[in-house]
Amino acid sequence: MRMRHRTTRTQRVGIRRVGGPLKTVLDKTKILYDVSLKLFCSWCAANDTWPDSKEELDHAACQFLMHCWQEGETRAVVANLLSGIGNTEPSLKWHLAGTRRLYAAWVKRELGARCCPVTWSMAEAIAGILIHWSWVEEGAMVLLLHHGLLRTMEGLSSRCGDYIFQLPLLKAHLSLPDTKTSKRHGRSESVGLYEAIVVKLLAMLCENRQPGDKVYSGSAATFRKRLGLALSALGMADLDIQVQSMRRGGATDFFKKTNSMQEVAFRGRWANFATAKLYTDAALQDRALMRLGNGSLLKAARRRLHELLA
């Protein structure tokens, strides 16, 4: 029987001192909250409207929301204001019913623009161009983000030690110790990799590297810039393809294969099916394929990818 390891009070104090104080909101997120709160306070001062009660606060927030709507502000300003008020004084969160209803109406009225989900063949073409230009790491990340349904930084910040390879079976396992949902639920996550091209590329990049080395050595800005160059070379510059298009395209392709939103949500690590459905859009994907004028160029890029990996 394995005994549970117990720590002393002194050890726990030392560990927690290194980890820093408990926080419910990241520092960079709190900065966004503070910006919206300052905008709200400035608006109250300009309109001589200082709420003295919870009801007046809700009314003032509603008026500020209407001001943002008329002045063309983004929804994020109001969303950060609501979150900032709840973070500053949690008891006020339940006294902003009117503002929250108006914000919900705004969301329904003005749907956010969605990036184009790419197919696996498009991802192969993009990776082929990148690898042909000797940007092997970028090409591998494009395929990894698509196949693993990964968020951008989950792929770009992965380290060699996070991968376990089964090269005879052309399979791999990626541990995701620090993700959006793992922070929320307090547990680590992982994803299986079964596409031969992805496994081969990652194994090649991890070879002769230390476990703590990052697989992608560049920055997120560099990755986006080189992705944009590859899209322009393939005639995809007008398709509104962004980095998150890989995750959306991977989710759409996976749903086509399985016809199960439950499996899509499980592989993409979404908490509910409604969120997963937002990422699957076969119609938008098919529309992008119809707009691709130079299909031979995509085939050549994909062929180049397989030649380089042969």
pLDDT band at 39, cuts 50/70/90? very high
Overall average pLDDT of the 142-154 stretch: 95
In terms of Cα–Cα distance, which of 35, 33, 57 is closest to 44? 57
10 Å Cβ neighbour count for 178? 14
pLDDT (0 to 100) of residue 292: 73
Q: Which tokens belong to 238?
A: 């007008």
User: Residue written as tokens 């859009």?
Assistant: 281
259 three-state secondary structure: coil
Give the integer Cα–Cα distance in Å for 302 and 292. 15
Overall average pLDDT of the 240-257 stretch: 92
For 178, residues 6+ apart whose C-beta sits below 8 A from its C-beta are 157
Q: pTM to 2 decimals?
A: 0.75
pLDDT (0 to 100) of residue 207: 93
pLDDT band at 272, cuts 50/70/90? confident
| DSSP secondary structure letter of residue 171 | E
pLDDT (0 to 100) of residue 294: 64
Overall average pLDDT of the 231-255 stretch: 90
pLDDT (0 to 100) of residue 122: 92
The secondary element (H helix, E strand) that includes residue 268 is helix 261-268
For the ranges 113-117, 141-145, 167-171, which has the lowest average pLDDT?
A: 113-117
Q: Which tokens belong to 60?
A: 């003032």
pLDDT band at 183, cuts 50/70/90? low
For the ranges 59-63, 241-245, 276-280, which has the lowest average pLDDT?
A: 276-280
pLDDT band at 43, cuts 50/70/90? very high
| DSSP secondary structure letter of residue 292 | -
Structure-model confidence comparison of residues 238 and 154, the more confident one: 154
- First CA to last CA distance, the chain: 50
Give the integer Cα–Cα distance in Å for 279 and 264. 10
Q: Is residue 1 predicted with pLDDT exceeding 50?
A: no
pLDDT (0 to 100) of residue 111: 64
β-pair partners for 159: 214
pLDDT band at 110, cuts 50/70/90? confident
For the ranges 9-13, 259-263, 278-282, which has the lowest average pLDDT?
A: 278-282
203-232 burial, b at 16+ Cβ within 10 Å, e below that, comes to bebbeeeeeeeebbeeeeeebeebbeebbe
Query: Is residue 176 exposed (0-12), middle (13-18) or buried (19+ Cβ within 10 Å)?
Result: buried
Region at 149 (left for phi over 0; alpha for psi -120 to 50; beta for the rest) = left
Q: Is residue 186 predicted with pLDDT exceeding 70?
A: no
For the ranges 42-56, 70-84, 292-306, which has the lowest average pLDDT?
A: 292-306
In terms of Cα–Cα distance, which of 95, 84, 16 is closest to 51? 95
Q: Is residue 185 predicted with pLDDT exceeding 60?
A: no
Structure-model confidence comparison of residues 289 and 142, the more confident one: 142
The secondary element (H helix, E strand) that includes residue 172 is strand 171-176
Cα separation values, 80 from 23, 150, 180, 197, Å: 17, 25, 18, 41
Look at the alpha carbons of 157, 159, 165, 170 in this order and tell me if their dihedral is positive or negative. Answer: positive
Q: Which tokens belong to 232?
A: 């322009």
